[in-house]
Amino acid sequence: MYAEFMTILPVLIELQATHDYLRTIERDLTALPPDLAALDAQIKAQDKRLNELDRGVLEGTAQVEKLTKELELAKRLEEHARKHLKTVDQKVKYAAAIREVDERERQRHGLERPLKELEARLVAAAKEQAEIKTRRIEAHAQFTELHQIFMAEHENQVVARKELEKKRKTLESKMTPAEVTRFGRLLSQRMGRAVVKVEGGICTGCRVKLRSPFLVQLHETKSPMGCESCQRIIYIA
Ligand SMILES: [Zn+2]
């Protein structure tokens, strides 16, 4: 099942430990002090609002275009109705023509009002976008400055991370790309514990007792196998 991992058990164990250290360092480096965390949250909130505004402006602009076209048509129809009214002299037809003009006028008003409101909303949105962008630039500059200080204070971790990344690459170069991918997937699925020892006939990953024939096979071949219960790579130390 894990034939591909047979010859590289020590590499896998070291790679797993390297990932462990990297995760710890990553946790330290992303555990921001309150002032930085506040700025980070502020920037994220600003980005969220900007996204909302972008979407709103896009929808609003499309709506304005649609209403503008409808309004143009309504105006033409109203104009037509007014012209028609002037040509009518018969009393009955005149009343109908008047009603027609009234109706067309109502339609035009019905479009003009929402269009005006929509345009006002777009102007307000553009203003808010500009304000947020200005504030975001300030917040981002402040964040960058404080973050540099924070990273300088954590120089040890930064250096260690660089070393560990190098080590990770070296270890991975001893594996095939398919192995790297597969092991990486197993690591993330099993909370960083993809390769574990068997102790007292028990998989230390999932605490399940191994079947006897399976255990015998593991002892005899001395090569890692996949736990039948949790699929971790298991070996006898
Ligand atoms: Zn297991």
CATH number at residue 49: 1.10.287.1490
Q: Quote the ligand 1 centre to 51 CA distance (angstroms).
A: 45
What is the number of domains present in the chain?
A: 1
The phi-psi region of residue 201 (left if phi > 0; otherwise alpha if psi is between -120 and 50; otherwise beta) is left
What pLDDT is stored for residue 224 in this prediction?
87
Ligand 1 center to 118 CA (angstroms): 61
User: pTM of the predicted model, to two decimals?
Assistant: 0.65
Q: Across residues 15-30, what is the average pLDDT?
A: 96
155 falls within a domain: yes
Helix (H, G, I), strand (E, B) or coil at 232: coil
Q: Is residue 160 part of a domain?
A: yes
User: Residue 91: what pLDDT?
Assistant: 84
Does residue 88 fall inside a structural domain? yes
- Over the stretch 104-139, which tens digit does the pLDDT of each residue have? 999 999 999 999 999 999 999 999 999 999 999 999
How much is the pLDDT for 6? 64
As residues whose CB is below 5 A from the ion ligand 1, the structure lists 203, 205-206, 227, 229-230
Centroid of ligand 1 to alpha carbon of 101 (angstroms): 82
119 Cα–ligand 1 center, Å: 63
146 located within any domain: yes
- Separation of 194 CA from ligand 1 center, angstroms? 10
Is residue 230 included in any domain, yes or no?
Answer: no
Q: Is residue 217 part of a domain?
A: no
The distance of Cα 190 from the centroid of its chain, to the nearest Å, equals: 23
CA of 175 to the centre of ligand 1 (A): 23
Distance spanning both ends of the chain, measured CA to CA: 19
Query: What is the whole-number distance in angstroms between the Cα of residue 228 and the centre of ligand 1?
Result: 7
Q: Is the pLDDT of residue 89 over 90?
A: no
Distance from Cα 68 to the centre of ligand 1, integer Å: 66
Q: Is 16 in a helix, a strand, or coil?
A: helix
C-alpha of residue 225 to centroid of ligand 1, in Å: 10
Distance 165 CA to ligand 1 centre (A): 28
Under 8 Å between Cβ of 82 and 137: no
Residue 24: inside a domain: yes
Q: Is residue 163 part of a domain?
A: yes
**pLDDT for residue 234 is more than 60:** yes
Domain that holds residue 121: 3-192
Instruction: Give the closest residue to 234 by CA, choosing from 200, 192, 204, 190.
Output: 204
Q: Ligand 1 center to residue 198 CA distance, Å?
A: 9
Tens of pLDDT, residues 46-68:
999 999 999 999 999 999 999 99
Distance from Cα 170 to the centre of ligand 1, integer Å: 28
Confidence of residue 29 (pLDDT cuts 50, 70, 90): very high
